[in-house]
Amino acid sequence: MTHDTSPARWVRWPAAHPLVGGGRSLPANTPRLAYGADYNPEQWPETVWADDVRLMREAGVNIVSVGIFSWALLQPTIDTWDFAWLDRVLDLLHANGIAVDLATATASPPPWLTELHPEVLPVNRLGETIWPGGRQQWRPTSPVFRRYALALVEKIALRYADHPALALWHVNNELGCHNVYDYSDDAAAAFRLWLQARYGALTALNRAWGTAFWSQNYSTWTQILPPRLAGTHPNPTQQLDFARFSSDALKDYLVAERDILRQITPSVPVTTNFMVMGEVKGMDYAGWASEVDIVSNDHYFLGSYPLAFEELSFSANLTGQIAGRNPWFLMEHSTGAVNWQPVNVVKAPGQLRRDSLTHLAHGADAICFFQWRQSLAGAEKFHSAMLPHVGEDSKVFRGVVDFGAELVALAELAGTRTVQARIGILFDWDSWWASELDSHPTDQLRYKVEAMAWYTAALANGLQADIVPVGTALADAGLAGYDLVIAPMLYLVPNALAAALDDYARSGGHLVVGAFSGLADIDDHVYSGGYPGAFRDLLGVRAEEFGPLLPGQTVGLEGTGLAQGATGSLLTHDVTVLPDVEVLARYDGGPFPGVPAVTGRIVGAGRASFVATVPDAVALAALVERFAAQSGIDSPLPAAVRGTVQLAARQSYTHEYLFYINHTMEAVRVGGIRGAGLVGIDLGQSSLTDGELALPGLGVAVLRRSLETLSAGAV
Ligand code: GLA
């Protein structure tokens, strides 16, 4: 792990920041960890509110998000407003020392608006209208929606600008959760403007979209449409640009709300809740983060996912990287089951704590839930909450209270930054969008699954990896802090990125390129002359054909360090190699028997490796172990607990905080710990005796050691 102790990189929030303030046992104006939930008091009679704040205090709740779905109550008709109830809510919260993340209430337009202006309703690619009845039924590019929504934002901002409970603005809610892809006429008009800004001239667009193919040449801008339902595969670059445009259109809307808020309350930070989780891929959050003052994320544990813990850890890490390794805000997760999966799995005892602390380990300074009090009506009545249907005399509420106490005891972590790992795994929305388009050699490859496979392989070796937005490679500091950089399925590689990665490897790094990478340029045109064109010269390889495998089909992999029975699946490449390339594994069977499957090569002061198939989990872990060893990276964890315990770290100016996360149900012991002691009150019942840490199933322990001890040589 790399240690950066320069004071400039140590976060100091201004006094008005939501992550600064008093708390149960904190003096005023000290950094704190925030704890809370979405609070929807409008669903309850006012008599319940007093009970809410009493129980919030008992749980140590110090911030709640209010007003997210309140538009229809705040503005019951086009020209009537009712803020009185919200005034009372904010006053009550403030009187009880609870800060407010106040929503702009624009997430779901009221029925009067869509009745009056049905032209704000989104349209899907089949031309069907998305009607009211659910939520978020608005077009991101609708000028009419924008007029009404921004008027509401201004009204709320002016009314609550000086309210003492106001700590943070919450723009809309989960922008793009249900409406990222809109194919309406408004979207078509906005798409054309976006394309004009990108390409300038129609000739440039025609070239980029390859419209000589299938007679698609455009002679006027008005002929261009979103990729609506077509008879066969729509133009791939049109689809890719529409994905880019759709993300930008929502970002533009975020900026429009934010600008109003900043103008009225320049000192109140602005956030909006991202959805870095699972297969949510519509919004390029790496490009959104600089538009908000605090990065927030919503993450739900995907109980039915085969690698659910790894997915949580991956998403938390990516959120932290998007936030520039500064503290971020976990705006929503759940105390237990959700309501929107086919089968909504309950959380195991200890899991609320483990999941929350895993987010904290990756830089979250706020741990919040959806929602405070479980609804009795509506589509989310079976979604868990901090205060469940059964009431305060419940396992869930006792767990919530206990965890609140633990967060108070961990207050010194507030404002600390995550420690950079030595392994970086590149992550790129363009490649995600482009690689999963139709009419490819196989439709079986999934971008996030591939990226997660590499992250899981690092964890299996007891190694921490960062999920690094690909733009980092082009930034000033670049990838210099990473000894090993992995590019899983980096399908789309613009020239500048290819050059930056080439430079990274030749100047002493180790670049590992995964299957189905380096194939296309920024316009999704194939690099000719042999695959993978963007990395061919660096890797010293040349492939002529793809050899996709049928679902369930595998091909044997034979090579040093790989166990008997190692396999690849989904895709192979028929690779020939230059004489200085070392072949680490070959295919045993499949479309290209005996052909190199894994290669490596010294390039300049560094190294470049290629994994030309999708190895099974054990084989991938063995390859990562080898690549890490070649890069001089060793796990700080004893061999026995690698793959069972994740070790992640944050640091302040003076201390390092080590999170030992046992992500299995079995108790484990981690020996060899020196110079560090437990922090907090650890109601998860870990113990540290004579350098041996005992962690129960799902146990997480936070250890502190001084950076002085560290520089004196303790491990
Ligand atoms: C999202 C929304 C919330 C709620 C939760 C349920 O995160 O922001 O309003 O619907 O999902 O999990």
Q: Summarize pLDDT for 177-211 with one digit per residue, the tens.
A: 999 999 999 999 999 999 999 999 999 999 999 99
In this prediction, residue 630 has a pLDDT band, given cuts at 50, 70 and 90, of very high
- Residue 276: helix, strand or coil by DSSP? coil
Residue 528 scores a pLDDT above 50: yes
| Tokens coding 410 | 């961990």
Give the ligand 1 atom nearest the CA of 334: 12
pLDDT of 9 over the 60 cut: no
pLDDT at residue 43 greater than cutoff 90: yes
393-441: pLDDT as tens digits:
999 999 999 999 999 999 999 989 999 999 999 999 999 999 999 999 9
Q: Is the peptide bond before 371 cis (omega within 30 degrees of 0)?
A: yes
- The residue nearest atom 8 of ligand 1, judged by CA position, is 174
Q: How many angstroms separate the alpha carbon of residue 312 from the centre of ligand 1? A: 17
Report the pocket of ligand 1 as residue ranges, CB < 6 Å.
173-174, 298, 300, 332, 338, 370, 380, 383
Exposure string over 294-322, b if 16+ CB within 10 A, otherwise e: bbbbbbbbbbeeebbbbbbbbbbbbbbbb
3-state DSSP assignment of residue 616: coil
Q: What number is the average pLDDT over the span 43-56?
A: 98
| Structure tokens belonging to residue 261 | 């808020």
Give me ligand 1 centre to Cα 168, in Å. 19
Look at residues 339, 439, 417 and name the one whose alpha carbon lies nearest to residue 380.
339
Percent of the chain with pLDDT over 70: 95
How many Å lie between the centroid of ligand 1 and the Cα of residue 36?
A: 15
Question: Residue 339 C-alpha to ligand 1 middle, in angstroms?
Answer: 10
In this prediction, residues 51-66 reach a mean pLDDT of 96
Give residue 26's pLDDT band: very low, low, confident or very high (50, 70, 90).
very low
- Report the residue among 299, 331, 380 best suited for mutation to probe ligand 1: largest number of ligand atoms under 8 A from its CB: 380
Q: Is pLDDT above 80 for 712?
A: no
What are the counts of helices (DSSP H) followed by strands (DSSP E) for the chain?
17, 31
The answer on pLDDT for 2 being more than 60 is no
Amino acid present at 704: R
- From the CA of 714, how far away is ligand 1's center (Å)? 44
Average pLDDT over residues 528-538: 98
Distance 370 CA to ligand 1 centre (A): 6
For residues 216-227, average pLDDT: 98
> How does pLDDT run across 372-402, given as a tens digit for each residue?
999 999 999 999 999 999 999 999 999 999 9
Look at residue 694 and tell me whether its pLDDT is greater than 90: yes
Nearest CA to ligand 1 atom 11: 370
Residue nearest to atom 10 of ligand 1 (CA): 380
Residue 381 and residue 533: Cα distance in Å, rounded? 52
Regarding beta strands 645-651 and 417-418, do their DSSP bridges make them parallel or antiparallel, or are they unpaired? antiparallel
From the CA of 7, how far away is ligand 1's center (Å)? 38
Give the separation between CA 467 and CA 482, rounded to whole angstroms.
11
Indicate the average pLDDT of the chain.
Answer: 94
pLDDT in tens, 511-520: 999 999 999 9
Kind plus residue range of the DSSP H or E element containing 93: helix 84-95
Band (pLDDT 50/70/90 cuts) for residue 224 is very high
Place of tokens 């930034």: 475
Q: What integer is the mean pLDDT of 661-669?
A: 97
CA distance 265 to 171: 14
Active-site residue identified among 257, 310, 311, 332:
332
Catalytically annotated residue among 174, 406, 450, 625 = 174
Beta bridge partners of residue 445, listed in sequence order? none
Ligand 1 centroid, distance to 115 Cα (angstroms): 25
pLDDT at 487: 98
Burial of 400 (0-12, 13-18, 19+ CB in 10 A): buried
Task: State pTM to two decimals.
Answer: 0.96
Q: What is the mean pLDDT of residues 317-328?
A: 95
Q: Which of 174, 283, 301, 372 to mutate to test the pocket of ligand 1 (most atoms within 8 A of CB)?
A: 174
Instruction: Specify whether 332 is catalytic.
Output: yes
42 is catalytic: no
Among protein residues, the one with the nearest Cα to ligand 1's atom 2 is 174
Other CB atoms within 10 A of residue 110 CB:
21
* pLDDT of 24 higher than 80: no
Helix spans in 175-302 (H): 185-199, 202-208, 236-264
The rounded distance, in Å, linking the Cα atoms of 637 and 673 is 9
Q: Note the pLDDT tens digit of each residue in 446-502.
A: 999 999 999 999 999 999 999 999 999 999 888 989 999 999 999 999 999 999 999
> Which two structure tokens, joined as six digits, stand for 84?
């009185």
Atom index in ligand 1 nearest the CA of residue 174 equals: 8
β pairing state of 554-559 and 484-487: unpaired
Q: Is the pLDDT of residue 33 over 60?
A: yes
Nearest CA to ligand 1 atom 4: 370
Q: Which of 298, 299, 355 for a ligand 1 pocket mutation test, highest count of atoms within 8 Å of Cβ?
A: 298
Cα-to-centroid distance, 317 and ligand 1 (Å): 21
| Dihedral sign of CA atoms 446, 447, 448, 452 in order | positive
